[in-house]
Amino acid sequence: MVSVVKINVLTVPADMRAELEQRFSKRAGMVESADGFEWFELLRPVEGTERYLVYTRWRSEEDFQNWQQGQAFQRGHAQAAQGHGHGQGPAATGSEVWSFEVAESAGPKG
């Protein structure tokens, strides 16, 4: 079975970066218990872009789709849209999803 990677590309204005990162830290655990979940990383831009990458890896496309249609996903994204009750709305001004299959991977030797 081939793992799949989903990268949500979020355009985040500089004044909303801390808010975005805080929201992600508060959501800790929401995806980790999903069946087929393998990995998550929030990648902060260093230079030349306002785009954060939300990297998740899944056992299969079906596992990702099941999570996306589940209650934890719906609840988390509804909270983000409302600014976690702070009335601020979304931290990102744009979003797109990139999909990949893992063709090859490696880890440290030893």
pLDDT, tens digit, 9 for 90 and up, residues 14-57: 999 999 999 888 876 778 889 999 999 999 999 888 899 999 99
pTM: 0.81
Which domains does the chain possess?
Answer: 4-101 (3.30.70.100)
Provide the percentage of residues in the chain whose pLDDT is more than 70: 84
Q: Exposure pattern of 93-106 as b/e (b: 16+ CB <10 Å)?
A: eeeeeeeeeeeeee
CA angle 18, 22, 24 (to 5 degrees): 120
* d(C-alpha 70, C-alpha 31), whole Å: 10
Is pLDDT of 83 > 90?
no
